[in-house]
Amino acid sequence: MKRLAVCVAATASAIALAAGPTAAAPSPGRHGEAARHHAPARPASESARLARSILNTKGITYAGAHVGGTDKASLPKQNLVDVSHGRPARTSPWGHKKGARVALDTRMLTGVLKLNTQYHYRFEISEFVGGEHSSTSKHYAGRAVDVTWINGRHVGKKADHRGFMNACRKLDATLVLGPGDKGHSTHVHCQW
């Protein structure tokens, strides 16, 4: 009788594995052990998918240093790499949110992607959550991006920052700052 129960359990396990990840898991056996099988891979989050898309988009580049210090783990490209692998982005070890982990907002990521794919801007991102910002900055909530170069020109030195800022607004950014706004003479800040 024990051999028959073991054969039935082994056959049920083989059928469940062959049926794939959509099959129901077999019920626990006589000794309370469920048949072992691998769970299907979880689909990537929307943030991870968008981060990968941005990383693979030509025309979007990334600053290689922060204005206020050196920390490779909180540079904008590394923020995207982390998010593309399902990890939150890291803030810099200085400023108001020292070394914290922050999720990047999908609205912001969508806006960044569309600035290139829909509005055809080539630009360099200087910060997502890294660097130093005001204590209430939405950078620390993963909802803001800073851009220093637009179409090969530095912001504040004949870059088309007004057109870029208007594109951010059309993409539903809730706050857009740039040259003419206090503290933003060399970059454009767009937040969602």
Reference 143, options 132, 131, 129, 163; nearest CA is 129
pLDDT in tens, 132-143: 998 899 999 999
Rounded-to-integer distance, Cα 177 and Cα 188, Å: 6
Query: Which residue has better confidence, 49 or 39?
Result: 49
Q: Which class is 46-191 in CATH?
A: alpha beta
pLDDT in tens, 154-165: 998 999 999 999
Reference 107, options 79, 142, 68; nearest CA is 142
Least confident residue range of 31-45, 108-122, 176-190: 31-45
Structural domain spans, the chain: 1-41, 46-191
Q: What average pLDDT does the structure give for the chain?
A: 84
Q: What 3-state DSSP class applies to 102?
A: strand
Residue 95: the pLDDT is 80
Global pTM reads: 0.76
With residues binned 3-state (H G I as helix, E B as strand, rest as coil), the percentages for the chain, rounded to 5, are 35, 15, 50
At residue 43 the predicted structure's pLDDT band, cuts being 50, 70 and 90, is low
**103 DSSP 8-state letter:** P
Nearest-Å Rg of the Cα atoms of the chain is 24
**Other CB atoms within 10 A of residue 77 CB:** 17
Query: Which residue has better confidence, 178 or 69?
Result: 178
% of the chain surpassing 90 pLDDT:
68
Residue 166: the pLDDT is 98
Residue 9: the pLDDT is 43
